Structure formats: C-alpha cells, structure tokens
Structure 1
Amino acid sequence: MQLDSSAFPVVKIEIDAPTGQCPQDGFMVFEQLLTREQPFVLLHEKGMDEEAHEHSHEERKQASLWMKKHKAALRAYVKGMIQVEPSAAKRLALKPFVAMFGKAWGYPLLLVESKERALALARDVLDEQVSDVAHY
C-alpha cells in the first residue's frame, strides 16, 4: 500500500506496494495520518482490475491485526475510501464487497465513475464532517 498525503485531507492510495516496498511501510504512513487526528478521505483512482493482486494469508493477517489495533482512530478520522470505477457493471458487482469493506475497515467504500466525481464526493464528505462538528 502506498499513500500520498500531499493533497491532505484527500489522500491518494494505491493498494499494491511498488516492488521493493515493504507492506508495513504503508501502514506506518497510515498511522502517521491517523495521529494527525483530522478527518480525511482515501482516494483510489485505479480500477479494480488494474490492481488485481491476491494478498497472501500473512498479508491479510497483518492487515487484520493492524485494523483491530487502530479501529477507533480509523472510525474517527477516515471518512471513507472513494474508489474510481468507470464501469457501471463493475460498480454494481462490487456492492456486496462494499458492505463487507465497511464492516471490516470501519469506514465506507464509496464507488464513483470518474476522478472528477471522486473529488466532488470527497469535498462533500469532508464538508459534511465539518458541518457535523459545527452543530455541537
């Protein structure tokens, strides 16, 4: 996993780490984002077929342990992961996965057809967060 927070609070994510990068490096960067204690969204621009890497049992185990350890922070600060998927058929086919994703990670997976729609949705999700805080 590779994270680019240069446009924070929109954080670009690539699920599969480039060759030579340790998977734990991505989780360390993710932890640093959580320690900021500020709401953000993840933006995944590659279609689901473009990163069809099958994670090993060990990778899935490490991710699960990391999620459990950071469950409260994930729910508090990650307002969603926005997945760009141009294919309407693929977006529809991903509906069951979307439900499982939200339960596992503690934040929603939101599917959109384009990068432009993803950025607009990111603004909406983050604006909604600011509005919720303003009402208290």
Structure 2
Amino acid sequence: MSKLDASQFPLVKVTIESVNEGHDQNKYFNDYESLLKTGKKFIMINEISAPDVKDTKSNKEHMKMMNLWMKKNREELRMNVLGMIQVEPDEVKRQAAIDFKEVFFKYWGHELFVVSTKEEALSLAKEKLELAN
C-alpha cells in the first residue's frame, strides 16, 4: 500500500507501491486529501523507486479511482503541493523518471524533481519550502 508520512510537515515522505499487488489505495488518497484540505503548502519526497507507470495504467479500477480523485482535488494539488522529489540512485531509472517529468506535471499539476540521493532531496526540499514562504 502506498503511504504518506506527514510527521515532518511541510516535508511529506511518500512511499508509492505498485497497485497491481492487491494493495488498497483508499487510505493513501484519503490521507493525501486531508493534507490538501489544510490549505498549507508542502513538498513530497519519495525515496523508493516508483512503480512502472505501465503497471499503474493496466489496473483499470485503480486508474478510474485515481482520475476521479484527481478531478476532485486538482485545484488543491496545484495550489498546495510544491512538488514531488523522486530519489533514484539508479542511473537508468533516474533517466526514465526525468523523461517522465512532463507527463507527471500535466497529470498531477505540480513538478517532479529527480535526484540521486536523499541528501540532494532534503536540500532541494528546503530550498523549495523557503522560496514558498
């Protein structure tokens, strides 16, 4: 199951897992929506390689749920999420994530930043949060 950890808000740690492993994503989306409803800006960091987009798209039920959720929360996503920072140490996967940035932005309404280390992610998150304040 994908998870959000907002214990260090406005820095939100994210774990995104494959939807094709029978995981219920409702809690993730409910938690995400609760963060959006605060009206406060935050940035997200995912330190685990994101699942293959093809896996997500092949799960029609999940895509329908996610698209409805996106439609409902689009404005809050654009206003409150400063971005998603993907930590990807593997060069090939990192390049694939970089190549996906434009699609990500069009769908989620906020930027995807791709870095190779946790330290880079934390530094970038701090920079983005300072600029937002």
Amino acid at match of 2:100: F
Maintained 8 Å contact 1:17/1:23: no
Q: What is the SS of the residue equivalent to 2:8?
A: coil
Give the 5 Å matches for 1:1-136: 1-16=2-17, 22-48=24-50, 51-52=51-52, 54-55=55-56, 56-130=59-133
Maintained 8 Å contact 2:16/2:48: no
More divergent stretch after superposition (101-110 vs 87-96): 87-96
Aligned to 1:134: none
What's the offset of the Cα at 1:71?
0.6
Maintained 8 Å contact 1:40/1:78: yes
Percentage of matched positions with identical amino acids: 38
Q: 1:33-55: per-residue Cα shift (whole Å, max 9, x none)?
A: 0111111011100124xx44823
Higher Rg: 1
What's the offset of the Cα at 1:110?
0.4
TM-score by length of 2: 0.87
Maintained 8 Å contact 2:36/2:77: yes
The ranges of structure 1 where at least 4 consecutive aligned residues each deviate by more than 3 angstroms after the TM superposition are 17-21
Task: Structure 1: state its 5+ residue gaps.
Answer: 131-136
TM-score by length of 1: 0.85
Maintained 8 Å contact 2:83/2:113: yes
What's the offset of the Cα at 1:96?
2.7
Indicate the RMSD between aligned Cα atoms, in angstroms: 2.0
What's the offset of the Cα at 1:79?
0.4
Aligned residues: 128
What's the offset of the Cα at 1:87?
2.4
Aligned to 1:133: none
More divergent stretch after superposition (53-62 vs 103-112): 53-62
Q: 1:86-126: per-residue Cα shift (whole Å, max 9, x none)?
A: 12333223233111001100001100010011001000111
